[in-house]
Amino acid sequence: MPQRSWSSKRERQYQHIKDGLEERGRPEPVAEEIAARTVNKERARAGEARQASRTSTEDLSSGRRGGLRSHRGADGRTRDQLYAEARAKNIKGRSSMTKAQLEKAVS
């Protein structure tokens, strides 16, 4: 799926993202789409694309956003992620809990 307009750096980036997603169990068509969208967003942020949406240029970068939503980092998981985990563990009273309370309950 690499584009002709992509530089060799962007093609390597695409392949790296795609391979990583496939290693984590994503189907190839899904991995290709996610990788292409990620590369196109990075191109837009770097000013390499002809057109760029506002969210592509003003939103958090893909790498930073993924880091914030992982299990590591200062902010850790989102409240929705914590709520889903609490629901999977069948924790009572989860709907009225704050993010901090959910973090404590699921740990």
Q: Structural domain boundaries of the chain?
A: 1-70, 77-107
Over the stretch 49-68, which tens digit does the pLDDT of each residue have?
777 777 666 766 666 666 65
Residue 100, amino acid: A
User: What own/partner pairs with CB < 8 Å and gap ≥ 24 does 55-62 have?
Assistant: 62/38
Q: Is 27 exposed, middle or buried (0-12, 13-18, 19+ CB in 10 A)?
A: exposed
For residue 29, pLDDT beyond 90: yes
pTM value > 0.75: no
What does the pLDDT read at residue 40? 85
What does the pLDDT read at residue 2? 54
State the chain's mean pLDDT as an integer.
82
Maximum Cα–Cα distance for the chain, whole Å? 54
For residue 91, pLDDT beyond 60: yes
